[in-house]
Structure 1
Amino acid sequence: MKKLKFPTAQTILLIIAAMVALLTWIVPSGKYDTLSYSASENIFNLNGLDKQTQVEATQTSLNDLNIKIPLEKFTSGDIWKPINIPNTYKKLGANPQGVLEFIKAPIKGIIEASDIIFLVLFIGGLIGIMNLTGAFDAGISWMAKVLKGREFILIILVTFLISLGGTTFGLAEETIAFYPILIPIFLAAKYDAMVALASIYLGSSIGTMYSTVNPFSVIIASDAAGINWTTGMNGRIIMFIVGTLISILYIIRYAQRVKKDPSKSIIFSQKEEIEQLFGNTTNSTIKLTSRLRLIIFVFSMCFVIMVYGVSQLRWWFIEMTSVFLVGAVLIGFIAKIKESVFVDTFVKGASDLLGVALIIGIARGITVLMNDGLISDTMLYYASNVTTGMNKGLFINAMLYIYAGLSFFIPSSSGMAVLTMPILSPLADGVGIGREAVVNAYQYGMGLFAFINPTGLILASLAIVKVGFDKWLKFVMPLVLILLVFTMMALTLSVYL
Structure 2
Amino acid sequence: MHIQIDVDQFKSGAINKPISVPGTYKRLEQHPASVSNIFSSMVDGTIESVDIMIFILVLGGLIGVVKASGAFESGLAALSTKTKGKEFILVFLVTVLLALGGTLCGIEEEAVAFYPILAPVFIAMGYDSIVCVGAIFLASSLGTTFSVINPFSVVIASNAAGTTFTQGMAGRIFGLVIAVTCLLFYLHWYARKVQQDPQFSYSYDDREKFDQMWGMTTSEEKDQRFTLKKKIILILFACAFPIMIWGVMAKGWAFPNMASAFLTIAIIIMFLTCFGHQDGLGEYKTTTAFSDGAASLVGVSLIIGLARGINKVLNDGYISDTILYASSKMVAHMNGSFFIIVMMLVFFVLGFIVPSSSGLAVLAMPILAPLADTVHIPRYTVVTAYQFGQYAMLFLAPTGLVMATLQMLDMRYYHFQRFVWPVVVFVLIFGGGLLVTEVLIAG
TM-score (norm 2): 0.66
SS in structure 2 at match of 1:84: coil
Q: What is the distance in 2 between the residues matched to 1:179 and 1:275? A: 14
Q: Tell me the alpha carbon deviations over residues 112-146 of structure 1, each in whole angstroms, 9 at most, x when there is no partner.
A: 63431342134223422x24xxx666554443232
Structure in which a larger fraction of residues adopt helix: 2
Match 2:18 to one of 51, 71, 83: 83
Is residue 267 of structure 2 the alignment partner of residue 329 of structure 1? Answer: no
Equivalent runs, 1:128-143 vs 2, <5 Å: 128=68, 130-131=69-70, 139-143=75-79
Q: Which of 94, 111, 116 is the matching residue for 2:32?
A: 94
Corresponding residue for residue 183 of structure 2: 247
Mapping for residues 9-88 of structure 1, pairs under 5 Å: 67-79=3-15, 81-87=16-22
Give 1:188's match in structure 2, choosing from 121, 124, 131: 121
CA 1:180–1:348 in structure 2 vs 1: closer, same or farther (change >3 Å)?
farther
Q: Is the strand fraction higher in 1 or 2?
A: 1
Kindly indicate whether the alpha-carbon contact (under 8 Å) linking 1:198 and 1:251 is maintained by their aligned counterparts in 2. Answer: no
For residue 235 of structure 2, the aligned residue among 301, 314, 319 is 301
Q: After superposition, what is the alpha-carbon deviation per residue over 1:165-191, rounded to whole angstroms, capped at 9, x for unaligned? A: 77xxx6234665665468624542336
3-state SS of 2:146 partner:
helix
1:8 maps to: none
Cα distance between partner residues in 1 of 2:439 and 2:400: 35
Deviation at 1:152, TM superposition (A): 2.6
Work out whether 1:425 is the aligned partner of 2:373: yes
**Percent identical across equivalent pairs?**
19
- Tell me the distance in 2 between the aligned counterparts of 1:154 and 1:300: 18
After superposition, residues 28-427 of structure 1 pair within 5 angstroms as: 67-79=3-15, 81-87=16-22, 92-95=30-33, 101=39, 108=46, 113-128=53-68, 130-131=69-70, 139-160=75-96, 163=99, 171-173=104-106, 180=113, 184-185=117-118, 187-190=120-123, 192=129, 193-194=132-133, 195-208=135-148, 239-253=175-189, 260=198, 264=203, 271=210, 292-314=226-248, 316-335=258-277, 342-350=282-290, 353=293, 356-361=296-301, 363-364=303-304, 367-368=307-308, 370-374=310-314, 378-390=322-334, 394-404=338-348, 411=357, 420-427=368-375
Q: Unaligned regions of 5+ residues in structure 2, if any? A: 249-256
Give how far 1:427 is off. Answer: 1.3
Q: Cα RMSD between the aligned structures?
A: 5.3
Distance 1:423 1:113, change over 3 A: same
Query: 1:202 Cα shift?
Result: 1.6
Q: Does the CA contact (< 8 Å) of 1:95 and 1:373 recur in 2?
A: yes
In structure 1, C-alpha distance between the alignment counterparts of 2:242 and 2:90, rounded to whole Å: 23
C-alpha distance in 2, partners of 1:356/1:258?
Answer: 36
* Alignment partners' CA distance in 2, 1:389 and 1:182: 49
Deviation at 1:293, TM superposition (A): 1.8
Name the TM-score, length of structure 1 as normaliser: 0.60
Separation in 1, partners of 2:53, 2:275: 31
Return the alpha-carbon distance in structure 1 between the equivalents of residues 338 and 344 of structure 2: 10
Which letter does structure 2 place at the counterpart of 1:326? I
Number of aligned residue pairs: give it: 401
Separation of aligned partners in 2, 1:126 and 1:493: 39
